[in-house]
Amino acid sequence: MCGIVAAVAGRNVQGILLEGLKRLEYRGYDSAGMAVLDSAGTLGRRRALGKVAALEARLAESPLGGHSGIAHTRWATHGKPSEANAHPHQSGDDLAVVHNGIIENFEALRRELRGEGFVFTSETDTEVVAHLLARQLRDGKDLLAAVQAVAGGLDGAYALGVISPSEPGVVIGARQGSPLVVGVGIEEAFLASDPLALLQVTDRFIYLEEGDVVRLAPGGEIAIFDARGQAVERPVRVFEHGDGAASKGDYRHFMLKEIHEQPAVIAATLEGRLGAEGVLVNGFGSEAQALFPQVRQVHIVACGTSYHAGLVARYWLERYAGLPTQVEVASEYRYRRVVVPENTLFVTLSQSGETADTLAALRFAKDNGYLASLAICNVPGSSLVRESDLTLLTQAGPEIGVASTKAFTTQLTALLLLTLALQRVQGGEAPAGLIEALRGLPEAVTRVLALDDEIESFAEAFAEKHHALFLGRGAHYPIALEGALKLKEISYIHAEAYPAGELKHGPLALVDSEMPVISVAPNDELLDKLKSNLQEVRARGGELFVFADESVALEAGEGVRVLRLPAVHEALAPILYTLPLQLLSYHVAVLKGTDVDQPRNLAKSVTVE
């Protein structure tokens, strides 16, 4: 949700910033811009509507040169995508600022500043920050003190990067509610919304805490101050995933690469967490041994695809661990009065660990009397991880495609581990064969991915359609929801998911030859009921696409296409049945020619409410 990158280096920073923006483009891509201070201390700025490539073309015509600069790729919140609304924003020639997040009190601040004669040239909330800073500089403050003073008056969420001709070579950063990391180079220093943006220049990072302000200066000087203005030390962490994560390799899209990484990342998520006797509880943090036996209920809160993972987990937790479980989208949860029974574990699920609503829900939950909070998250050092009592890291590695794939299946893997850990500490036994099946999960995933050609052949039937209906039952209803979400996100086909039993209560009215119906039909106890639902679709001329267990007696024929999946332990089926739905959406999107990795209007990390 907007990406920031900034650099203070002993060389021209334009290339570093541009490469950083390309790597951050998944966060927003409706416009981009850059500001650099040249050796004479003059501020140069270039901005362009559209993707980073448009800015690159502008810079090729008219390059910037200098040793310090800031850059931004935007996902519009206040004001339409346009060059005037693109960052960096300036206050005259006094300074330039890039911002990620939302300034909630910007209207009041804008009125006040207009009253003082400041002229606004954009519709953004960010521009107030530029003028507020200019006011502080005119009052004689240095850039660091100006940012500290202004930060105190801003409501909402922000990460900021600021440069000014008044202090050549200095970049100030600040974070409150939006992610910002410091990249530690050799006599160079950087800022970015995500370490990925800087892997071409460093693998060492400092994750700023809420309220921190940082001053980068020539020679790689880094000084950090906490919300009270006290100088603080923060640990430097080495980024472990390597730079390969930021490239597509031989794949046409990041999404396809990430789909095919699933066997490896599921194996990494399981690694070290399965002992001879079952799931190792200490994998959830040292306090889990003491806390887990006390858990009597579970509340799960998440957004988007992560929410769908939570919905699957409800079936597992209730069935295998016997724990009553509620699952809710974070943006709803945080705005209602929640009744929390004693000994309830609060679980957040998030790929990024920075989703604003999920973070706010965690903070809200802290005052609600939960036993403890557990984050299942893909980003070590993220806000969610730092603010939770317990953490289970998924090992998906960086996910670049906006539509989440490997993050989802590793979340499911982690949630199954959680279910089995809770069951184990409470004296239960894992269902027969499940631990062994879990060990074989990466291999089972590989076998399903090998069906790609067949799945691709299904895609043609969707390219001209405007709607699609996904059906599932039990734990596969959330998988149908996730399948529908994938299809709408990247192919822009309107898709809905229903628990198959609800078909006759409304959606059946929509079924005709123009409405493909996709059904997830593993060989579980609901199969016979699902088959009847499918008959109802066929009887109305609906075209059926069924993903079914190889042992299911279900014949393909006119209007019915069947893809057989290998037989698998019932508990693992939701993970395996996700895969063909990911591939189906991918191939439909490719046929339709949409922007698979960066679908319109969306962003990977939603750090605004």
Each residue 252-291 as x (binds ligand G6P by CB under 6 A) or -, in order, gives ----------------------------------------
Check binding of 486 to ligand G6P (CB under 6 A): no
Which residue is it, tokens 């270039």? 46
Among 91, 164, 355, 413, binds ligand G6P (CB under 6 A): 355
Among 85, 124, 136, 351, binds ligand G6P (CB under 6 A): 351
- Alpha-carbon torsion 432, 434, 439, 443, what sign? positive
Among 334, 406, 486, 604, binds ligand G6P (CB under 6 A): 604
State which residue, 171 or 349, has the beta carbon closest to ligand G6P: 349
Q: Between 304-320 and 476-491, two packed helices, what is the crossing angle to 10 degrees?
A: 170
**How far is residue 143 CA from its own chain's centroid?**
32
Per DSSP, what are the bridge partners of residue 43?
37
Distance set, CA 451 to CA 260, 518, 544, 571 (Å):
12, 17, 18, 21
Check binding of 325 to ligand G6P (CB under 6 A): no
Check binding of 305 to ligand G6P (CB under 6 A): yes
**In this structure, what are the phi and psi dihedrals at residue 537, rounded to the nearest 5 degrees?**
-70, -50
Among 297, 358, 419, 585, binds ligand G6P (CB under 6 A): 358
Check binding of 410 to ligand G6P (CB under 6 A): no
Check binding of 148 to ligand G6P (CB under 6 A): no
Distance CA 520, CA 563 (A): 10
**What is the radius of gyration, based on Cα positions, of the chain?**
25
Active site annotation includes 604: yes
Residue (of 318, 500, 495, 489) closest to 419 by Cα position:
318
For the record, the structure tokens of 305 come out as 């695809």
Distance CA 205, CA 198 (A): 9
Among 43, 49, 602, 608, binds ligand G6P (CB under 6 A): 602
Determine the 3-state secondary structure of 211 from DSSP: coil
Question: How far is the first Cα of the chain from the last one, in angstroms, to the nearest whole number?
Answer: 11
Tell me the closest approach of the beta carbon of residue 603 to ligand G6P, in angstroms: 6
Stretch that binds ligand G6P, among 188-196, 301-309, 423-431, 512-520 (CB under 6 A): 301-309
Determine the 3-state secondary structure of 397 from DSSP: coil
Check binding of 55 to ligand G6P (CB under 6 A): no
Check binding of 350 to ligand G6P (CB under 6 A): yes
Check binding of 304 to ligand G6P (CB under 6 A): yes
Active site annotation includes 377: no
Tell me the closest approach of the beta carbon of residue 361 to ligand G6P, in angstroms: 11
- Alpha-carbon torsion 471, 477, 479, 481, what sign? positive
Check binding of 585 to ligand G6P (CB under 6 A): no
Tell me the closest approach of the beta carbon of residue 485 to ligand G6P, in angstroms: 8
CA angle, corner 601, sides to 90 and 53, nearest 5?
60
DSSP state of 252: S
Check binding of 404 to ligand G6P (CB under 6 A): yes
For the record, the structure tokens of 438 come out as 């879990």
Among 159, 266, 606, 608, binds ligand G6P (CB under 6 A): 606
Check binding of 27 to ligand G6P (CB under 6 A): no
Beta carbons of 546 and 519 less than 8 angstroms apart: yes
Check binding of 28 to ligand G6P (CB under 6 A): no
Among 100, 164, 306, 391, binds ligand G6P (CB under 6 A): 306
**In this structure, what are the phi and psi dihedrals at residue 161, rounded to the nearest 5 degrees?**
-135, 130
Q: Which of 22, 257, 486, 604 is catalytic?
A: 604
Q: Which of 2, 257, 377, 406 is catalytic?
A: 2
Residues of this chain that interact with ligand G6P (CB under 6 A) are 303-306, 350-352, 355, 358, 402, 404, 602, 604-606
Residues designated as active site: 2, 604
